[in-house]
Chain A
Amino acid sequence: MNADDWLRAFAAELHQRRVGGDVARHVVAEAATHLREGGGDPWLVFGAPQAYAAAIVESIGTAPGPRPGPVRLHARGITKRYGRQVVLRDASLTVRAGQIAAVVGANGCGKSTFLRICAGLVSPDAGEVTVAGRLSYCPQQGGTADFLLPDEHFVLVGAGQGVPRVPARRAGRAAARQLGWDAGNAALARHLSGGTRQKLNLTMSTLTQPDVLLLDEPYQGFDQGSYVNLWDQLTRLRDEGRAIVVVTHLLNQLDRVDVVLDLPPAHQGGRS
């Protein structure tokens, strides 16, 4: 990791620890100046980015997180059977503006089914979902067109909202950059790696400026840096007042979420 990478990781850590934007920029600029003038390996000068960010937070404090707003997603009494298998039984979840909710559980407990029901793609056998505002959904896989360029995906999604193609392309590239991906020079979707394709998937779902964002294991194929960028972006979206639901089975992410829905295993097997 060179100095630039270290500074990027440091900035991401500050952001995740809710250090205010101006303060974080100032601290990173100071560290950069110190490295430029004094030289040396940032790992020797400052230590690990996480540890240094934690030390900074301890000394200057953090910006108070925005208070959760009104309810954006309310799913109640969701029950779903596939044949005789009960995949979901009376599952409920309420997510407010400015909150991240995690849907967790073992394989086959119906996490993805629950999210697809919330997105209105699958009908439940019982229960209702109320969504306030615009809804967007990022599937676990698929959801992109193999023979289109990322820019063309942005234009296609943008046109749904009546956004002209140039602003749609610009907004897509900017959103992709938040995930550390340069979408402007990318190849057809079918030639993208699994992780990059998932970044395209994720970018498409944030492009419509949704009030409620449903993400089904959005980090599949991500490397460590992209994973950090993802949570950085989710935190930013939360702070902007979006309600986010993430299906996940990685429990170490849970310290960054506000609400957890732990689904019990399905009866007689099931599907995820």
Chain B
Amino acid sequence: MNRLVTVAEMTLRELTRRRGVLLLLLLMPLTFWLIRRDSYVGQSVRALLLGISWAVSTAALFATSAARELEPRLRLAGYRPHHLYIGRMLGLWGLGLVISVPFFLLTVIDANNLRYGGIAVAMLCCVAVAAPFGMLIGALLPRELEGTLLLLTVVAMQMLLDPADAATKLTPFWSSREIGTWAVDHTDDGYLTRGLLHGLVVTVLLIVTVAGVFAVRLRQRRHLHHVPIA
């Protein structure tokens, strides 16, 4: 447990010290909100949710890429792969929650007639999905630039796809869009249920995939045999 907490703590410390990057990441959701603010609050909320997803997944990508060289030696220092990826994920979820609070307050103050509980749940879905999603991309792509471009593509696709298109359900952040619709347009509870289910399934799938990738990358190689000291 101490190992998990230590990795989570160090992840948070590292990310909060990247102030310039954090500010730029926060700028995107804020800009999304402001651009659509005067026309249609529903689009504004959906764009804000997508912006939060972008911010958290990009932070996850940076954290994972930065730890690429450090993790093998931490493995030798006594960490198991799950200490490293779960600890990092915990830190990223914590950061995502902290990022979400001011944006949630923004919706409460700046927009009327919303189901605010739904907005909060949608933000939680964004954070839950974005952390493992960014980590997965960071683990698969060795360079930050490639990962950022891929994230940008996913977010742009999520934004531009027709909501009626069945393919949108295959995008990682569909859950927040569905719950956002429930919260903004006061639709039936089916939207909330579908969104929650999608968010849960995608989060679990991403965590399992991240676990698999880390287990392979930080595996004990077959040629190396450890024997105890007599």
Find out whether the CB atom of A70 lies under 8 angstroms from the CB atom of B66: no
Tell yes or no: A162 within 8 A of B by CB.
yes
Find out whether the CB atom of A204 lies under 8 angstroms from the CB atom of B17: no
Find out whether the CB atom of A157 lies under 8 angstroms from the CB atom of B223: no
Give CA–CA (A37, B70) in the complex, Å: 51
Tell yes or no: A142 within 8 A of B by CB.
yes
Chain A neighbourhood of B229, CB < 8 A: 70, 132-133, 211
Find out whether the CB atom of A131 lies under 8 angstroms from the CB atom of B6: no
How many of B's residues come within 8 Å of A, CB to CB? 32
Find out whether the CB atom of B225 lies under 8 angstroms from the CB atom of A147: no
Chain A neighbourhood of B78, CB < 8 A: 160-162, 208
Find out whether the CB atom of B69 lies under 8 angstroms from the CB atom of A143: yes
Which residues of A153-188 have CB atoms within 8 Å of chain B's CB atoms? 155-157, 159-162, 165, 188
Find out whether the CB atom of B10 lies under 8 angstroms from the CB atom of A128: no
Chain A neighbourhood of B79, CB < 8 A: 160
Give CA–CA (A155, B221) in the complex, Å: 27
Tell yes or no: A32 within 8 A of B by CB.
no
Tell yes or no: B194 within 8 A of A by CB.
no
Chain B neighbourhood of A161, CB < 8 A: 77-78
Find out whether the CB atom of A155 lies under 8 angstroms from the CB atom of B6: yes
Tell yes or no: A5 within 8 A of B by CB.
no
Give CA–CA (A161, B75) in the complex, Å: 11
- The size class of the interface chain A forms with chain B is 35 or more
Which residues of B77-97 have CB atoms within 8 Å of chain A's CB atoms? 77-79
Find out whether the CB atom of A152 lies under 8 angstroms from the CB atom of B3: no
Chain B neighbourhood of A146, CB < 8 A: 14, 66
Q: Which residue of A has the minimal Cβ distance to B219?
A: A120
Tell yes or no: A45 within 8 A of B by CB.
no
Which residues of B148-201 have CB atoms within 8 Å of chain A's CB atoms? none
Tell yes or no: B73 within 8 A of A by CB.
yes
Known contacts A133-B229, A160-B3, A160-B77: does B70 contact A124 (CB below 8 Å)?
no
Question: Nearest chain B CB to A17's CB is how many angstroms away?
Answer: 30
Find out whether the CB atom of B66 lies under 8 angstroms from the CB atom of A159: no
Give CA–CA (A38, B128) in the complex, Å: 73
Give CA–CA (A144, B69) in the complex, Å: 7
Tell yes or no: B109 within 8 A of A by CB.
no
Tell yes or no: A233 within 8 A of B by CB.
no
Q: Which residue of B has the minimal Cβ distance to A97?
A: B229
Give CA–CA (A207, B14) in the complex, Å: 22
Chain B neighbourhood of A160, CB < 8 A: 3, 74, 77-79
Which residues on A are within 8 Å of B, measured CB to CB? 70, 117-124, 127-133, 135-139, 142-148, 152, 155-157, 159-162, 165, 188, 204-205, 207-208, 211
Which residues on B are within 8 Å of A, measured CB to CB? 2-3, 6-7, 10, 13-15, 17-18, 66-67, 69-70, 72-74, 76-79, 220-230
6 A-B pairs with least C-beta separation = A160-B78, A142-B69, A160-B77, A159-B6, A120-B224, A147-B14
Sample of 20 more A-B contacts, CB < 8 Å, known A137-B73, A157-B74: A120-B224, A121-B72, A129-B225, A132-B226, A132-B228, A139-B73, A143-B70, A145-B66, A145-B70, A146-B14, A147-B13, A148-B10, A156-B7, A160-B78, A162-B78, A165-B6, A188-B17, A207-B77, A208-B78, A211-B229
* 6 residue pairs bridging A and B, Cβ less than 8 Å apart: A118-B224, A130-B225, A135-B226, A137-B76, A160-B78, A205-B73
